[in-house]
Amino acid sequence: MQTVISPIDEQSLERAKNIISSGGLVAFPTETVYGLGADALNEEAVRLIYATKGRPSDNPLIVHVHKDFDITRLVCDIPGYARLLAEAFLPGPLTMVYKSRGVVCPAVSCGLDTLAVRVPSHDGAQRFLSYLDIPVAAPSANVSKHVSPVTARHVYDDLNGKIQLILDGGKCAGGIESTVLDCTGKVPCILRSGLITRDMVAQVAGECDEYHMAAGEKVRSPGMKYKHYSPRCKTALFKYEDRFLALDRYRECTAQGSRAVIMCDDAVAADMEDARILSLGSSESDIASNLYDKLREGEKIADIIIAVAPLKQDGVMVGVMNRLTKACG
Ligand code: TXA
Ligand code: MG
């Protein structure tokens, strides 16, 4: 199968619609990472997502809808706080989990009685969803366990020959996947951290819990139990306080003839003397936005990525640290 990368225009949207309505998959941009979309009402098409990514069949998918889509067609029991949150943050990088009406096919939620719904803000995603006018099930458009894609080229590198069309909407500005928020309880609960932080949710909803899996408990967000986001080279992760140990490690690796690179923010980079640096930038949003791009660059140019955590660990950095730990820890 030939994989085409196309800018988003009338012609490529028409092609996308034809592919999706005949049960195929189309990759599309969002403000977080690229998604691999299929018709959420077509069981075969949804199964094809799992097969194409090599995704475990117990890790449920998010359904993406256009901003004018009436989500009460898909879910019920929407609590008051969820309406406030939707008003405050949607369209945007917040996925909300509700009780499902069972309208989308069971493979989307892996048999759970809940459904994760997301309204992406990326203009290309909105155009795609409006053109199709159906709920689109989509995970990140990478091979399972690899780093999520933030450019059309990243999608191509993982899925070339496996899908027909990649809609190119440029580099994703957000850079890490959406916050997943369980809205089935009295208080909203973060299942996966992201750009919409716990404080931001709490400010609108009054309170916000954060889920941590207890030993022996049945996991509430199945995706969280898998190793994720791994680059295809060796990795090491150092705390901010241990940044000079990271520099020692870099020198050791280099002395042994291994191609090493240090991935860190600009504040840390200032202490790294003449080491080869993959810079994440300096602001929180830059660090999130550059993380996957730099991990993918690193695996191409180095035998080992030596990551150093930023000093700041709260807010958006909770989501960044979660990915960094899974990628390099
Ligand atoms: O930003 C994003 O969310 C991207 C873009 C493409 O929209 N999508 C994404 O999808 O990251 P994926 O499949 O890589 O991650 C979906 C996450 C998983 O951790 C999964 O366990 C959780 O959402 N999830 C999906 N449905 C769920 C449900 N019904 N209950 C709890 N967690 C759910
Ligand atoms: Mg993913």
Tens digits of residue pLDDT in 130-169 = 999 999 999 999 999 999 999 999 999 999 999 999 999 9
**Among 32-41, 206-215, 239-248, whose mean pLDDT is lowest?**
206-215
CA dihedral in degrees (152, 294, 148, 129; nearest 10)? -40
4-76+89-176 against 234-328: fold identical: no
| Per-residue confidence (pLDDT) for residue 299, from 0 to 100 | 97
Contact 281, 322 (CB under 8 A): no
Scanning 123-210, the segments in alpha helix (DSSP H) are 123-132, 152-159, 198-205
Is the predicted pLDDT of residue 277 greater than 90, yes or no? yes
| Pairing of β 75-76 and β 209-210 | unpaired
CB burial of 123-149 (b: ≥16 within 10 Å; e: otherwise) equals: ebbbbbbebbebbbbbbbbbbbebbbb
Q: What is the mean pLDDT of the chain?
A: 96
Alpha carbon of 286 to those of 174, 175, 282, 293, 298: distances in Å? 9, 9, 6, 11, 17
Confidence of residue 218 (pLDDT cuts 50, 70, 90): low
| Cβ–ligand 1 contact at 27 (below 6 Å) | no
Domain made up of 234-328: CATH architecture: 3-Layer(aba) Sandwich (3.40)
Dist CA 173 CA 37 (whole Å): 19
Residues of the chain by 3-state class (helix, strand, coil), percent to 5: 35, 20, 45
Question: Mean pLDDT across the stretch 245-264?
Answer: 98
Whether residue 58 has pLDDT greater than 70: yes
Query: Does the structure show a pLDDT above 70 at 215?
Result: no
- Ligand 1 pocket: which of 32, 46, 62, 115 to mutate (most atoms within 8 A of CB): 62
pTM: predicted TM-score of the whole model, two decimal places: 0.96
| pLDDT recorded at residue 221 | 67
> Which pLDDT score, from 0 to 100, does residue 213 have?
77
Q: Is residue 263 scored above 70 in pLDDT?
A: yes
pLDDT score for 229: 79
| Residues sharing a CB contact under 8 Å with residue 220, sequence separation 6 or more, in sequence order | 182, 191, 211, 213
Q: What is the mean pLDDT of residues 105-126?
A: 97
Residue 174 alpha carbon, nearest atom of ligand 1: 1
Ligand 1 centroid vs 259 CA: distance in angstroms? 34
Long-range pairs, 266-275, Cβ under 8 A, ≥24: 267/310, 267/311, 268/240, 268/243, 268/308, 268/310, 268/311, 271/243, 271/244, 271/247, 272/243, 272/246, 272/247, 273/247, 275/247, 275/250, 275/251
- How far lies 218's CA from each of 114, 214, 215, 221, in Å? 15, 8, 9, 9
List CB-based neighbours of ion ligand 2 within 5 Å. 140
Query: Please, which residues have CB within 8 angstroms of residue 3's CB and are 6 or more apart in sequence?
Result: 156, 159, 160, 161, 162, 163, 164, 165, 166
| Residue linked to tokens 């994720």 | 228
Supply the pLDDT for residue 135. 98
Residue 224 pLDDT class (50, 70, 90 cuts): low
Name the closest-CA residue to atom 10, ligand 1: 139
Domain ranges in the chain are 4-76+89-176, 234-328
Whether 59 is in the pocket of ligand 1, judged by its Cβ within 6 Å, is yes
Q: Is the CB of 221 within 6 Å of ligand 1?
A: yes
Predicted pLDDT of residue 97: 98
- List, in sequence order, every residue forming a beta bridge with 62; answer none if it has no partner: 116, 138
Q: What is the pLDDT of residues 70-87, one digit of tens each?
A: 999 999 999 999 999 999
The fold adopted by the segment(s) 4-76+89-176 is DHBP synthase (3.90.870)
Nearest atom of ligand 1 to the alpha carbon of 109: 29
Query: Average of pLDDT values for 183-212?
Result: 97
pLDDT number for residue 246: 98
Cα 146 from Cα 11, distance rounded (Å): 31
**CB 140 near ligand 1, within 6 Å:** yes
| Section 10-17 average pLDDT | 98
CB 262 within 8 A of CB 308: yes
Confidence of residue 120 (pLDDT cuts 50, 70, 90): very high
